[in-house]
């Protein structure tokens, strides 16, 4: 994703600064910088025509940020989940393999029909993509991808069209490392730079607050309205030294601590570890002992039958933070941003951290507070 000279740095402070993007609109302020809005699926104002049901905790399509792409000639609008933890773009999940609100969202997120595009070309190759949850069998094609509201149209972009899938409710726009790192072709981010849509092969991601339910990704630069002061560079762990040996945005976390209102900051034991930054995961995944210790400080001794820690929703009004410390910077995540709220006749609240023995990652419950408002 970054140029060779900075492949080992997650570079946020860049020479290219691009101003402010208006909500609900892609803006290209100058050659080489594109602002694309990203929308949380619970944003009723945006998705009111696409969502006919209130999603429940058992559904997963209420926990992702989506970008709209227009694929083909003439353009066909498709919403895809924005994912820093994967590397490829694909569309058309099998909506019959999910149920409830996930199936409704899947059907209404849009489909791409290569037969209706005059610029579509089949490459005759296939692949199976596997994720932490779900998988997709895809056939590769190339086509034009237009960024809505912009004059930018990427030609002959390679992506996958699913022939079948399991437990997936939307296509995915993987914006992790691409060519010669994780793929043998130019992925979406690679193509933005290769076709001179961006001046540099980098981006910044602002998810916005939980209440805002929308954010912006800036391809090729930094939205200077999203921060004050200086940004910090954080080294990325090389793939060969990372826990899963995969080129991801792995970084070293020094510690996690909690700052309750009116009390001193308290550091959790055994919270120094590598973690990767994953916008495709709403929840933050940490080792069970650490997750249990944090949950206990929120007043919950054990998870429910689904593995979630149900909290008192009054905690969203408490002025406390959970603090994630890295090299030279501490990200303070307010209780409200860390807690997942599920609306309903009786609203339910859950800790936005779940136990995992497989991955340690910082998802949207962390990333919303790391950059941008």
Task: Provide the residue-wise pLDDT of the chain in tens; the chain has 373 residues.
Answer: 333 322 233 333 333 455 554 444 444 445 678 888 888 776 655 554 433 333 344 445 556 789 999 999 999 999 999 999 999 999 999 999 988 878 888 888 899 999 999 999 999 999 999 998 899 999 999 999 997 656 789 999 999 999 999 999 899 999 999 999 999 999 999 999 999 999 888 899 998 887 777 888 999 988 877 777 777 888 999 999 999 999 999 999 999 999 999 899 999 999 999 999 999 888 999 999 999 999 999 999 999 988 899 999 999 999 999 999 998 789 999 999 999 988 777 889 999 999 999 989 999 999 999 886 5
Active site (annotated) includes residue 278: yes
Cα angle, residue 132 at apex, residues 43 and 62 outer, rounded to 5°: 15
Across the beta sheet with 255-259, what order do the strands follow? Answer: 266-267, 255-259, 321-326, 329-334
Residues 179 and 259 in one domain: no
Whole-angstrom Cα distance, residue 193 to residue 200? 6
Q: Count CA atoms closer than 13 A to 98's CA, side-chain side.
A: 27
The count of other CB atoms within 10 Å of the CB of residue 269 is 10
Residues 353 and 317 in one domain: yes
Residue 62: the pLDDT is 55
Residues 221 and 258 in one domain: no
Residues 298 and 167 in one domain: no
Write down which residue in 168, 199, 226 finishes a domain. 226
Q: Which residues of 95-122 are buried (b: 16+ CB within 10 A; e: fewer)?
A: bebbeebbbbbbeebbbbebeebebbee
User: Parallel, antiparallel, or unpaired: how do β-strands 214-219 and 203-206 relate?
Assistant: antiparallel
Residues 154 and 21 in one domain: yes
For residue 223, what is the DSSP state? Answer: -
Whole-angstrom Cα distance, residue 276 to residue 177? 13
Let me know: does 117 contact 102? Beta carbons within 8 Å. no
Residue 14: the pLDDT is 35
Residues 66 and 198 in one domain: yes
Whole-angstrom Cα distance, residue 179 to residue 187? 7
| CATH number of the domain encompassing residue 79 | 2.40.70.10
Residues 220 and 241 in one domain: no
Residue 18: the pLDDT is 58
User: Could you tell me the sign of the dihedral formed by the alpha carbons of 129, 43, 217, 159, in that order?
Assistant: positive
Place of tokens 């209440």: 211
Residues 240 and 283 in one domain: yes
60 Cβ contact list (under 8 Å, min separation 6): 102, 133, 169
Q: Which of 62, 83, 143, 223 is catalytic?
A: 83
Active site (annotated) includes residue 223: no
Cα angle, residue 357 at apex, residues 354 and 362 outer, rounded to 5°: 50
Range of the structural domain that residue 310 is part of:
234-370
Residue 233: the pLDDT is 85
Q: Give which of 155, 36, 168 is closest to 109, Cα–Cα.
A: 168
Q: Is 283 exposed, middle or buried (0-12, 13-18, 19+ CB in 10 A)?
A: buried
Structural domains of the chain, count: 2
**pTM (two decimals):** 0.87
Residues 19 and 90 in one domain: yes
Q: Which of 143, 190, 278, 364 is catalytic?
A: 278
Residues 265 and 116 in one domain: no
As given in the structure block, the two tokens for residue 277 are 């930054």
Residues 137 and 34 in one domain: yes
For residue 316, what is the DSSP state? Answer: G
Residues 213 and 273 in one domain: no
Q: Which residues of 179-209 are buried (b: 16+ CB within 10 A; e: fewer)?
A: bebbbebbbbbbbbbeeebbbbbbbbbbbbb
346 Cβ contact list (under 8 Å, min separation 6): none
Write down which residue in 226, 243, 277 finishes a domain. 226
Residue 49: the pLDDT is 46
Let me know: does 172 contact 89? Beta carbons within 8 Å. yes
Q: What does the chain come to in residues? A: 373
For residue 352, what is the DSSP state? Answer: S
Write down which residue in 226, 255, 283 finishes a domain. 226
């Amino acid at each position: 994703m970054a140029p060779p000279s900075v492949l080992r740095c997650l570079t946020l402070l860049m020479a290219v600064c691009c101003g402010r993007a208006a909500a609900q609109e892609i803006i290209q302020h100058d050659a080489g910088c594109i602002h694309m809005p990203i929308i949380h699926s619970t944003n009723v104002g945006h998705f009111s025509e696409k969502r006919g049901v209130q999603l429940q905790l058992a559904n997963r399509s209420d926990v992702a940020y989506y970008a709209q792409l227009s694929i083909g000639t003439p353009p066909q609008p498709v919403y895809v989940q924005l994912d820093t933890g994967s590397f490829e773009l694909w569309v058309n999940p099998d909506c019959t393999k999910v149920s409830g609100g996930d199936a409704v969202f899947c059907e209404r997120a849009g489909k791409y029909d290569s037969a209706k595009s005059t610029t579509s070309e089949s490459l005759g190759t296939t692949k199976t993509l596997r994720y932490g949850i779900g998988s997709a069998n895809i056939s590769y094609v190339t086509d034009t991808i237009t960024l809505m509201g912009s004059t930018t149209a990427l030609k002959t972009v390679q992506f996958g069209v699913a022939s079948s899938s399991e437990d997936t409710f939307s296509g995915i726009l993987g914006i992790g490392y691409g060519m010669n790192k994780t793929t043998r072709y130019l992925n979406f981010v690679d193509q933005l730079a290769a076709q001179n849509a961006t001046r540099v092969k980098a981006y910044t991601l602002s998810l916005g607050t939980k209440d805002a339910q929308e954010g912006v990704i800036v391809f090729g630069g930094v939205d200077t309205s999203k921060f004050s002061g200086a940004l910090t560079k954080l080294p990325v762990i090389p793939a060969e030294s990372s826990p899963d040996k995969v080129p991801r945005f792995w970084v070293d976390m020094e510690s996690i601590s909690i700052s309750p209102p009116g009390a001193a900051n308290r550091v959790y034991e055994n919270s120094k570890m590598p973690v990767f930054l994953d916008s495709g995961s709403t929840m933050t995944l940490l080792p069970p002992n650490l997750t249990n210790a944090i949950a206990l400080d929120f007043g919950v001794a054990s998870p429910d039958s689904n593995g979630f820690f149900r909290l008192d929703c009054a905690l969203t009004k408490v002025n406390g933070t959970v603090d994630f410390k890295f090299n030279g910077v501490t990200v303070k995540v307010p209780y409200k941003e860390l807690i997942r709220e599920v609306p309903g006749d009786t609203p339910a609240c859950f800790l936005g951290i779940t136990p995992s023995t497989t991955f340690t990652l910082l998802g949207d419950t962390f990333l919303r507070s790391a950059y941008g408002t």
